[in-house]
């Protein structure tokens, strides 16, 4: 069971609210410019004190979304609100520093993200100093304890730590400035399987004990179910389904979600891995005929409509019309990308 956050969180406005977020990348020279849409019209709310999982295969746009939300990347279009404030249009002095304090990121690679010449202490002290906060030794030690590390490790160098320990330092660094929201981009995918669950448990604890909101990015639906309150599925730069984690895993509505799920090992599922079924699922994602909403005439290729197919604890379970957009070149690229068929971690 995924522990649920207190019911009161549902009534508070979301910490972050994203509307119509679109990101285009351009490439090529002056006369051969090609535009590539990495994100298209993403709508996403991250409620207070909740973990939202963003799930999708490699290349679906997960990191681009995280980078836009962290303001490391400028969106082409759309709106990002932090506590109701439209952050892309705020020009106030210091607003950007305040934003970077409120929204922290944990990256995928715990080996590349910590400069090897510094002791652990440096990584925790620096964000505090940058944000003009006192960096007391006792605060640093408390941070270490919060993330499950021995406080004496403040004097260690990154190479003296394991991958899991480094990722805990990265989490401590993110927590140092008391963020409202942590964006964790595949924080466990480069760690040994044996230490992954420790990081996931740490995230759950931070939510439950400190009401920290999190966007947990992963390609692994099983870990999303384990850690997140809700799951949002990203396919080719567009959200195609969302809802309560358990409900979404029990009753996936979109063929793309079904495809992702078919790769998740499930002890209760007895039938063997079936490559023919998986190929059929993969094909169905791009087949307009597979869309049950097409006949209703309620949506079209140009009008994205979210169909609500259930509700759990006040959380709507919605699925987007399969007809809308999936047949784009980006969608084909994501679907045919070399994703190992048995991939799960
Ligand atoms: N800086 C960039 N310039 C051009 N294309 C990019 C850039 N960053 C990402 N992309 C493209 O955007 C798409 C989504 O990438 P990404 O967000 O990294 O996906 P994910 O994190 O889900 O694997 C990919 O097709 C990728 O090639
Ligand atoms: Mg990525």
CATH class of 1-13+45-75+85-228: alpha beta
Looking at residue 345, its pLDDT comes to 36
Please state, in angstroms and rounded to a whole number, the distance separating the CA atoms of residues 248 and 256.
12
Distance 297 CA to ligand 1 centre (A): 33
Ligand showing the shortest atom-to-Cα distance for residue 60: 1
Please list, in sequence order, all residues whose beta carbon lies within 8 angstroms of the beta carbon of residue 165, skipping any fewer than 6 positions away: 149, 153
Closest ligand 1 atom, residue 234 Cα: 22
Greater confidence, 107 or 31? 107
Q: In what order do the strands lie in the sheet with 85-86?
A: 34-46, 16-27, 77-82, 85-86
Ligand 1, atom 27, residue with closest C-alpha: 59
Please state, in angstroms and rounded to a whole number, the distance separating the CA atoms of residues 304 and 126.
44
| pLDDT per position as a tens digit, 104-138 | 999 998 888 889 999 999 999 999 998 888 889 99
Could you tell which of 21, 24, 25 is best to mutate to test the pocket of ligand 1, judged by most ligand atoms within 8 Å of the CB? 25
Percent of the chain with pLDDT over 70: 82
**CB within 6 Å of ligand 1 — which residues?**
25, 36, 38, 56, 58-64
Domain boundaries, the chain: 1-13+45-75+85-228, 252-339
Ligand 1, atom 26, residue with closest C-alpha: 59
pLDDT reading at 67 higher than 90: yes
DSSP string, 236-281: TTEEEEEEEHHHHHHS--SHHHHHHHTTS--TT--SPP-HHHHHHH
Ligand 1, atom 24, residue with closest C-alpha: 59
| pLDDT per position as a tens digit, 258-302 | 888 887 776 666 666 677 877 777 777 766 565 666 555 555 555
| pLDDT per position as a tens digit, 2-20 | 444 444 445 678 999 999 9
| pLDDT per position as a tens digit, 142-162 | 999 999 999 999 999 999 999
Lowest mean pLDDT across 75-79, 180-184, 265-269: 265-269
Q: Find out whether 223 and 109 touch, Cβ atoms under 8 Å.
A: no
pLDDT reading at 237 higher than 70: yes
Ligand 1, atom 18, residue with closest C-alpha: 63
Residue whose tokens read 């006792």: 138
Ligand 1, atom 14, residue with closest C-alpha: 61
| pLDDT per position as a tens digit, 36-57 | 889 988 999 999 999 999 999 8
| Chain mean pLDDT for the chain | 84
Looking at residue 186, its pLDDT comes to 96
Please state, in angstroms and rounded to a whole number, the distance separating the CA atoms of residues 213 and 207.
6
């Amino acid at each position: 069971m995924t522990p649920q956050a207190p019911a009161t969180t549902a009534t508070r406005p979301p910490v972050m609210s994203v509307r119509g977020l679109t990101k285009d990348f351009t490439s090529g020279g002056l006369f051969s410019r090609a535009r590539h849409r990495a994100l298209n019209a993403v709508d996403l709310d991250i409620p207070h004190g909740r973990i939202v999982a963003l799930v999708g295969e490699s290349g679906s746009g997960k990191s681009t979304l995280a980078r836009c939300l962290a303001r490391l990347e400028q969106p082409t279009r759309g709106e990002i609100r932090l506590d109701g404030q439209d952050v892309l249009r705020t020009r106030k002095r210091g607003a950007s520093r305040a934003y970077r304090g409120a929204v922290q990121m944990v990256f995928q690679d715990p080996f590349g993200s910590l400069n090897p010449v510094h002791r652990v202490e440096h990584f925790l002290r620096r964000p505090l100093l940058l944000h003009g906060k006192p960096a007391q030794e006792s605060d640093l030690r408390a941070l270490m304890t919060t993330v499950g590390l021995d406080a004496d490790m403040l004097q260690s160098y990154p190479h003296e730590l394991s991958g899991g320990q480094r990722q805990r330092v990265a989490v401590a660094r993110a927590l140092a400035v008391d963020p409202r929201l942590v964006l964790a981009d595949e924080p466990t995918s480069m760690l040994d399987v044996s230490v992954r669950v420790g990081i996931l448990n740490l995230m759950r604890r931070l939510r439950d004990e400190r009401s920290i909101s999190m966007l947990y990015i992963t390609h692994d639906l099983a870990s999303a179910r384990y850690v997140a309150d809700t799951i949002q599925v990203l396919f080719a730069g567009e959200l195609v389904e969302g809802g309560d984690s358990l409900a979404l895993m029990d009753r996936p509505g979109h063929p793309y979600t079904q495809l992702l799920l078919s790769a998740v090992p499930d002890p209760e599922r007895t039938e063997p891995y079936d490559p023919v079924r998986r190929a059929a699922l993969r094909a169905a994602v791009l087949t307009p005929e597979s869309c049950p909403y097409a006949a209703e005439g309620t949506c079209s290729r140009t009008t994205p409509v979210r169909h609500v197919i259930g509700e759990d604890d006040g959380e709507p379970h919605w699925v987007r019309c399969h007809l809308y957009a999936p047949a784009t070149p980006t969608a084909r690229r994501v679907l045919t990308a070399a994703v190992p068929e048995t991939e799960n971690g």
